[in-house]
Every structure is written in structure tokens, then in C-alpha cells.
Structure 1
Amino acid sequence: MVLGKVRALAVYFDSLNENNLPAFSGGDPVSGRVVVEVTGDVRVRSLHMTARGVAKVRWTESRNAGANTAYTQNYTEEVEYLHQRDTLIGDEREDGGPEDGVSVLHAGVHEFAFTFNLPQMALATSFEGKHGSVRYWVKAELLRPWLLPVKVKKEFIVFEHIDINTPLLLAPQAGSKEKTLCCWFCASGPISLSAKIERKGYTPGESIQIFAEVENCSSRVVVPKAALYQTQTFYAKGKGKQIQQLVSNLKGDPLLQGKSQSWGGKLLKIPPVSPSILDCPIIRVEYALVVYVDVPGGLNLSLSLPLVIGTIPLHACSTRTSSISSSCSALSWLGLPERPEAPPSYSDLAISEARRRECLLGCDGSDGLGEDPSSLLTYITEFRYLPPPLYSEVDPYPDPTEVSAAADLRRPDTCPSR
């Protein structure tokens, strides 16, 4: 028997996405092959496949005392989402002798299939951050007698799907703020800012429509701006570490004193970024749109609108739902003016006094039995825009019976005897 060597050990996945990457979600089956290429006969004790998924956080803090380091504190935390081990060749036991359960692989290429299911639970999305990461991988390990093991590891991607077509993520986000610049000897007018966006949930590649109003009553020239920020928060041993990164931004025109500026749907595109991570106990990835006014020589006036970056894009039928839920603030997103037109003037719609008297007499003289039902609608339509009548002590349309009775009382010959 000619002893050979292991030329290659590799892991391949059967299912790849449109970007030729192995990507899965919670509950999905994962299948693939472990490929071993040998140049001759190779004695093998075992070949194991291990699938793991781990969220891990780690950072170090040190405190200096003069020229010396007083102490160094390590913060480490780990959460395991997946751990599965399968034996492809040999025995599961690893405590046997070097010759126990030895198999022989002959020269050539050998493939060993594997399959497993991801847990039916909320998995953390694959992520790489400065102080932590969420990683999933398949590791193959080939053990041979009297030789060092051969190992290979291949990572795969897990997406915890976030559907933005939910009422919470379709709700509009809005806010307003005002700031006055002043000192001991002078005071300037306020700077006001109001902004809104059509919904809370977006997916990478979409553009955020920003509706904003900025009014500058101060004595300085200010610039309205908008920026999308990603905030990474890491937790370990009861302590948190936070990092904020700029994802995308845009800038408006400079605003002079006494001027105002409106953004009627200014677009800010979302680049390819990691989805929000909201359920992992040690790593959170959150997003916020910050609309702010850059004030030279002073603190900026800023307004933060929280966002959620999801994986399932907006459905066509959800667009109308999100617009209806926004009530008045959604008028602009529906293509309607934000300020409705004023109602018509009563003076333009009021009818003449003769026409009014004619309608009243016509209604009083009808018994309603053989009348056309549409006449009531005509009456309502005729008078729906009429202003209320002017107050007067004299009835302009007295009852004829009451008028004749009052005239008789005023005659001297009809007065009752004392």
C-alpha cells in the first residue's frame, strides 16, 4: 500500500443565493459536501463535521497611573445559537487508540454529504463589528493516526428576516424642535425645525423621502442637513460599549437670516448595510435618521427619527396602508397639498331672499304624500351653505293666523270689558 497525503480538504454548500453566497434563515435546511482529495492511500481515524453559530463580544479597557498601567480589564460575552456535530467517517469516540477504527481513503477525490436544520428560533443576523460579531460556520476535521489533524472552516450567512410590512414599521415618523441663540448681551430669534418621513421600516437600496421645514430667525447663516447613522451597542459583564457610524448624508442650501427652507421629499439613499439586530442579548444594531441644522459657532439643532432596516421589502399594497395610517401628515405623500384649500365663501353661495321665500312657502304648502322624493334633496342642497339668519325680535315670516289675532287685539271695539 502506497501511503499518500491529503492534498485538499474543502467544504461546499449546495444552495447559494443570487450573489453566489450561502445564505439561510431560521428553520432552513443546510446541506453540502465535505470533499477530501488524497494522492495515495491515507489512513483515517475519523472525519467530523461541526456546525456552529456564535455571537461574541470582546473588548479591553486599561487604566493608567502615571507611566504605569494600573490594571487591564477584559470584557467578554458569548451567546451560542447553533451547535451540531456529525461523524462522516469513523467513530464518534476520540479516546481510542491510534489504530482503533481506522479507515483507508484511496487515491482520488472523496465526497461526504452533510445536512442539518437551523433552529426554529429568532437567530441573530450575521454581523461583523468593532467589538463583536455574529458568525455561523461549518468546520470539517480529518483525524489520522500519528499525524496532526487537517481542518477547514467555511462560513455561511444567516439573515433573521425583518418584514417592514407591519403596522409598527409602516407608521410615519415626525417631530419638531426649536432653539434660540442668545448670550448675556444679545439675543437672536429662534431656529425652528420640523421633519417627517413616510414610515419607520426600510430596506437597503431604498431612498428615504424627507419632508422638512426650517425657519431661521437668528442672526447667523445656518445649513440644514440630514444623515443616516448606524449605532452598534455591545454588552458584556453588565457594561455596554457603543459605536456610531455615518452611513449616508445630504446637505441643503445655506439659510440666511429671516429665511426659510422646505424639503418636499428630499431623497436620501440607503447603501448596502447590515439589517437591524434587535433580539440579540449582547449585540444590538440600530439606525436613526438625524435631520439637523448646522449652526456655526454653536450647538446644532437636531431631530432624530428612529429607523429599522429590514430584509423583506415593501409590498405594493402596503403603500396605501401606510399613507392612510399617517392621517393628515400623509397628504403630501399621497400627492395632495399639505394645507387643504379654504372652503367656499357663504356670500358666493347664498341665494336671493325671493328664492328663499319661494322655497319656504313651497315646503310649507306640501303635504309630502305625492311629492317627489328628490325635492327634499334639492331643498337640502339649496340651503347647506346658507349662513345663519340675522337675529331679530320681529319674525320676518309670521303666521297669518297669529297676525290677524294680534290685529283684532289692537282694535278698541274688540278689547274685553273691565
Structure 2
Amino acid sequence: MLKAPQNRLFGRGSWTETSRIGDILRTETAGGLLLLGAAVLALLWANSPWSGGYRSLAAVELGPASWHLHLSLAEWAADGLLAIFFFVAGLELKREFVAGDLRDPRRAALPVAAAVGGVAVPAAIYVLVNSLSGGGSMDGWAVPTATDIAFALAVLGLISTHLPAALRTFLLTLAVVDDLIAIMIIAIFYSGTLAWAPLLLAVLPLAGFALLVQRRVRSWWLLLPLAGATWVLVHASGVHATVAGVLLAFVVPVVRRSAGTGPGLAEHFEHRWRPISAGIAVPLFAFFAAGVSVASAGGLISSVRDPVTIGIVAGLVVGKTVGITASTWLVQRFTRAQLADGLSWWDVVGLAMLGGVGFTVSLLIGELAFGVGSLRDDHAKVGILLGSVIAAALAAVVLRARNRHYRILCAEEERDSDADGIPDAYESR
């Protein structure tokens, strides 16, 4: 008799990583609710009789004229605050692949493949829709490729699912890898005219920052000026300033220099900056970016008829579902792995649908592709909002149907826990 394969998709990770991911998800879920509230407030204000006040606030300019730093509040949110978001995402990604469960290539293959599929298929659908329409625009091909982890986890919190930890970890890791792909797309396809002098000068403060963190220096009064100088020079170079956040994150060491216990420097920075990212930076960006006026977009009917809007909605709703699910199936097919016990492909489909909740990075790419305040940018925002709402609703239906099964699994794990609070299933590994 042939022995059953031992390789399992969505198998349990280590208890240390499961506990850490749980803490991250709680922070991101709370941040997602703030993000949702900020977006709703912006939409209501932008479509109210006081919409002029919203546009005037977003257009307020601050900062010195030198180094292209005389920016509006909306631009400061997109270029400055989102650099914090990508800094945290970069720290999380590096830690997962250096010291987390994903340092095992077999475990890393699944979320990486799913993220790639979740980027490629939505982009292909957008290109197909706009190429067949005749009046579309190819500039926004990358808009439906992003997954907003904070918004997606807020949806999970609202529908009160007991999603297994391995699936939640998969969703988080997929979204982080998705963010890295997005920042690469922004750096390559959506940066302005390159100025080499500031870009080369940016290496100096970046190298100083790297030297200090490699020596495990945590003094903010040393690190923040170097990080700020790196951001300013990258911004002045024409490369989108959020790239600086990822570069700074990637030079932070993950493993402790000594063999002692406790978090490494990357985890320490992540712990300090994640609440600022999830609770302040991303909601403020959403407030300034999501306030699309239906009137300025030519009316809702006109917006939804635009191939740009249709392509974005189709990419987020259909493309993400097909791309993530098909990539997961291909990993299973070629590795001959099986789903972990108690899980089904409906779990994968529900998560793939939830991956279509694209918001923060999608709005940023839309602004870069079409220009802030342009008609096509407004139509892109309508598509992002509609696509995200539809994807969230469909995911809620599927995951609600699985909620009873999840609750039973969680109850069994709680019964299996002993006095130390660690489920026996993790201790036995």
C-alpha cells in the first residue's frame, strides 16, 4: 500500500510564528476598521454640499520648495505616510524569509506563487478588457493587482470567522509579497524622469542607516535623520518615495547578534512602527485618496461604463479569485501536496476572493497611472471601491458558510490546550 504524502498545504507552522502572526493580525484588523472609517468619511464629505472644503484641505501645500518638497497634504500622504507602510511591509517580508516559517522553500512556495498569480491574472484581464473596448487606457494595468491586507482583515473581523491560523498566515504573507511586487512595479513603471545625482546621493544616508542598524543601534535621533535624508533624495530622484521605505527595511538585521532570546531588531522596529502604519499612515492616505466625487467623475453610470472601471472591477473580483486559486492548485499539482486536514478548496476560494479587496496600493497606482484629480483617476477610484466591495461581499458569503466548520476546529484546539496555553498539536511537532 502506498504511503500517504506528508507534504501538506496550509499545514501548521511553529507556535512562535503562529503567536506572532496573531498579534500582527489583531493590529492590522483594528487598522483596517480605521481605514474603512476614513474611506467612508472621505466619500461622504466629497459627495456632500461641503465637498469644496474636502478638496481645499487635500490641496493645502506644506514644505520647502527645494528638493520638490512643497507638496499638498494629499501628496504628503501618498509619498510620505505610505513610505512608513512599505517600511513595515518590508520588515515583515524580510523577517518571514530569514527567520520565520517561510525560510523553508517548501512553505514559501505557496504564498509566493499565489501572490504572483494574483498579480498576473488581474493585470491580464484589465489589459484584455481595455484592448477590446477601443476607448480604454492601458496605463492602469497594475491597479487591480494589489491586495489590501488591513482592509481584508477588517472584513474577516466583521464577518467573525474562526479562520485557521495557517490560512490567516497565508493571507498575510500573500499580501506582503503582493506589496513587494507592487513596489517593484511602481519603481519600474510608474516613476518619473530619473535624476541620477539625488539617486546616487541617497546611497550615502542609506549606507549610514545600514551601518548603524547592523551594529544594533536603536537611537531614534541617529536613525530618523538618515532615514529622512534617504526618503528626500529618493523622492527628488524621480523614483517614487515609497521605494525608500522598502530599501530601509531590507537593511535592518533580523537575527539577534547574540544567542539570547527576545526579538531581533527588525521585529523590534516592526512592533514600534506597525501601529503608526496601521492606525495613522494608511487611514490618512485613504482619507485623502478615496474621496471621489460622483459628480466630478461624470456620474456613476458614466463611471461604470468606462473600460478602465470595468477592467479594474473584473481584475479585482474575477482576476484575483482565479489567479490565487489557480496558482495554489498548480503548487498542489506539481508538488503532489494535499490540503491540511479539515480544510477544503472552498477555503482557498474564499481567501482568493478576499484577495480582491484592493484599496491602499491600488489607489496609489491609480493616481500614478492617470494623474491625481483626472477623470480617469476618479473612474479608477470608483472601480477600486466597487471591486473591493463586491469581492468582500462574495468572500463573506463563502467564509460565512465555512464559519461553523472553523469554529469547531478552534474549539477542538482549545480543548487540546494544557496549562501552558500552547495547543498540544504544536507541542507534538
Which structure has more RCO (C-alpha within 8 Å, separation ≥ 6)?
Answer: 2
User: TM-score, structure 2 length as denominator?
Assistant: 0.20
Task: Give 1 or 2: higher helix fraction.
Answer: 2
User: Normalized against structure 1, the TM-score is what?
Assistant: 0.20
Query: Which of the two has higher C-alpha Rg?
Result: 1
More strand by share: 1
